[in-house]
Amino acid sequence: MPSTSGGTPDRLNVRLAATLPPPAPRDLVALCVFGAGADDVELCGATGATLDAVRDLVAAGEFKGGEEDTLLFHAHEPGGARRALLVGMGPHGDDDARGSRRAAATAVRRANEAKARRLFFVMPACSDEARAARALAEGAHLGAYANDFYQKKEDGDEASLAEFVIVTGVGDERVRDGVAAEIERARVVSESVNWARALADEPGGSLPPREFARRAAAMAAEFGLKVETLDSEEVRARGMGGLWGVGQGSDNPPALIVLRYEPEGSGEDDGELFAFVGKGITFDTGGISIKPAKGMEEMKADMAGGAAVLGALRAVAQLKPRRRVVGIVPSAENMPSGRALKPGDVIRTFAGYTIEVVDTDAEGRLVLADGIAYARSLGATRIVDLATLTGSIIVALGDHRAGLFSNDDEWARRVARAAALAGEPVWRMPVSDDYKKRIESDIADFKNYGGRPDATGAALLLSKFAADTPWVHLDIAATAWLEEPAPHSPAGATGTGVRTLVELVCG
């Protein structure tokens, strides 16, 4: 994928098959193995000589079915040699979409390493074939993602896998049609996740705010979304002091990116308007309150929340639900210079509130304050914001769940349920005036940092700008980035949030 395209990687063809075909030299068959140990193993889809070989491997303790474990081996079938890949699923859990998604992604990555051309994935028996197939298809597309945009490719380095075939015994035509529809939805959503990942993996030097806005506009034109970009002068003229203030220290001016999805025939009076607001800091040095050098290169992904919002709109535009959605991305570079915000400065936001800037590295909440207030000015009836906002959420929850903060219990439940169905689990955190000392200022309405627990203080500040509009804040600092490669994914951006937002809108 060219580094300047903002596109998606080469498409992997995912399809259904009722049975395994005669083997070809570059085919690979993936078989799931469930098990918590050598004495608790369930094999799915193995037959004949392959089944005998798998049984021998399991009996010898060479493969125990641990989650994301794999073992590649050769089994001789009557029709010729067949390569088989055992994929561990961990302890058996019926209809475990998360496990299926990761197993498929792991299998795709191993298949590429093995230079396979076609991967046949035998789907384990389950009660909901459509849901299981959707999870497998999502995993396949997500596993095919690579972020080696800037590496020189030698002959044979390119990914060889062209086709992922889900082998299922489903015979009923109507059921098969339903499964095929879920596979197509998985393609739309997963390619949008990968598009968002590519944005977050892009170096900050090649993705300043204006380029971020340009790529958003190009995507909007491709999929029929309405787009508007407020340039730096308009941002300043409209009184968005948070966004303007954060961006003023950079030679690359800030921008406010606004995308709208409106179902055909809808109008402003047609029900609710969901607003998704994503932090779009294309590089974060911390400003005058500069960050340590170690690990700062990862701050190119401080716009992962904004990328997730754009990726979600990309998918929504193709799935065409009957709900109006607006995506808002306040985008800036946070750089130190003679023009940059200084600790102690006071900025005036779009909502009219003033904020004392105690720490210029707490910049995300400043741009989100303007983004959330702008969403309300557009008539948003429900708001979700996403941001790689605080290190405190990593301390609180680790790497596997985003923190969810909300001013509305019912809306929080809806978002949490969508996240669970999407395989992006969240954990609800407190946000209330019990913590108000964290954001009280002697000189302004609020201050942007009051010490730990910072995740809660930051969320409380944002809640003041949501006011009485049902609002959820997702702190994705822990889940938006993988420090090390995993069996199912390369190190780097994960695209977290896209699937949750799409599930919330489309169900």
Residues that are catalytic:
291, 365
CA 29/CA 84 separation, integer angstroms: 5
Ranges of beta strands (E only) in 302-434 are 324-334, 346-348, 354-356, 382-387, 402-406, 426-428
Quote the CA–CA distance of 433 and 448 in Å, as a whole number. 15
Q: How far apart are CA 362 and CA 477, in angstroms?
A: 13
∠ CA 101-104-109, rounded to 5°: 125
Q: Where are the alpha helices (DSSP H) in 289-408?
A: 304-319, 364-377, 392-397
Yes or no: say if 128 and 39 are a contact pair by the CB < 8 Å rule: no
State how far the Cα of 492 lies from the Cα of 393, in Å rounded to an integer.
Answer: 19
Write the burial class of residue 38 (CB in 10 Å: 0-12 exposed, 13-18 middle, 19+ buried): middle
The angle formed by the CA atoms of residues 186, 187 and 190, to the nearest 5 degrees, is: 80
Nearest residue to 276 (alpha-carbon basis) of 258, 292, 293: 258
CB count in 10 Å sphere of residue 352:
10
What residues form DSSP beta bridges with 276?
A: 327, 384
On the 0-12 / 13-18 / 19+ scale of CB atoms within 10 A, 66 is middle
End-to-end CA distance of the chain: 31
